[in-house]
Amino acid sequence: MILAGPPAAQALLDEARTRAAALPRRPELHVIRLGEDPASVSYVSLKEKKALEVGLGSTVHALPSATSQAELLSLIERLNADPAVSGLLVQLPLPAFIDSERVLNAISPEKDVDGFHPVNVGRLWTGAAALPPCTPAGVVRLLDYYGLPVAGQRVVIVGRSNIVGKPLAALLLARDATVTIAHSRTPDLAALTREADMVVAAAGRPHLITAEMIRPGAVVIDVGVNRVGQTKSGKAKLAGDVHPEVAEIAAALTPVPGGVGPMTVAHLIMNTVLAAERLQAGEQPSELVEVELLA
């Protein structure tokens, strides 16, 4: 079975549209982008397009690449305080002279639709209501869409990043999976993955996972998107972390492109709606939540 992302993503967007329409005020997504990096411009444009498609407001703050950290933090502070803003994100990567961690931590956890703030990370691991990182949450929704079980499954995640591997482990543990996180220094990785009912490849290494590393009938989720050259038309040629031959023995496999990628953008839109629902319901501001968590 090929686990195509577009139909699952559309179902998630349809749900976001319905929930947004039920709110007293339209959710508003604000994206801050520094510079004119073509990949960032394209990705931000896609986010804006999807937000508008489901009836959300969308504003892109396109700043010069020379914008200072102080100016960027001042804008974030203003958007944090604006009740009309439901979701806020800063498009990465940022210029080298800016402290990306400080910038991301300056975003209010209640508006952190990327799910990167330490408060949201802590909430995720403790089972509290959180805005989860979009790619891991998208993977879970993809599994749900295709009716693939998680509870009781032995899952090996290859990749330990804060953006995918670690938060996905938290989400799958919450669904009663037995989860192992592997990485570049895991000895005999193949022996580990062959025991898994489900393998998630998120290491950022093209074709790392080969057929002999997969148990026949396993589910394989390929999160990797690696540039491996150009097509004849000049477009980037992409490859996943999973070798195409895995399709011959896996029960289900996500394609690259067209698998997890659409789910990431769709869950960003859903996170914006979730944030709007909580903010419009009058939940506590982030500073009070942080004090309670640290007490």
Q: Is 119 annotated as a binding residue?
A: no
Helix H or strand E segment including 63: strand 57-63
Q: What is the arithmetic mean of pLDDT over 226-234?
A: 76
Cα R_g (the chain), whole angstroms: 19
The CATH number of domain 134-261, selected from 3.40.50.720, 3.40.50.2020, 3.40.50.300, 2.60.40.10: 3.40.50.720
The correct answer on CATH 3.40.50.10860 for the domain covering 24-108 is yes
In the chain, domain spans: 24-108, 134-261
Region 51-76: mean pLDDT is 97
Give residue 242's pLDDT.
Answer: 97
Residues assigned a catalytic role: 47, 91, 114
Q: When comparing pLDDT for 234 and 269, which is higher? A: 269
The answer to whether 225 is a known ligand-binding residue is yes
Span 248-268, average pLDDT: 97
Q: Give the pLDDT confidence of 177-200 residue by residue, as tens digits.
A: 999 999 989 999 999 999 999 999
Q: Is 159 annotated as a binding residue?
A: yes
Encode burial over 45-76: b for 16+ CB neighbours within 10 A, e otherwise.
Answer: eebbebbeebebbbebbebeeebebeebeebb
Mean pLDDT of 151-167: 97
DSSP tally for the chain: helices H, then strands E: 10, 10
Same fold, 24-108 and 134-261: yes
Question: Is pLDDT above 80 for 170?
Answer: yes
160 annotated ligand-binding residue: yes
Enter the pTM of the model.
0.91
pLDDT digit string, tens, across residues 65-114: 999 999 999 999 999 999 999 999 999 999 999 999 999 999 999 999 99
* pLDDT exceeds cutoff 80 at 232: no
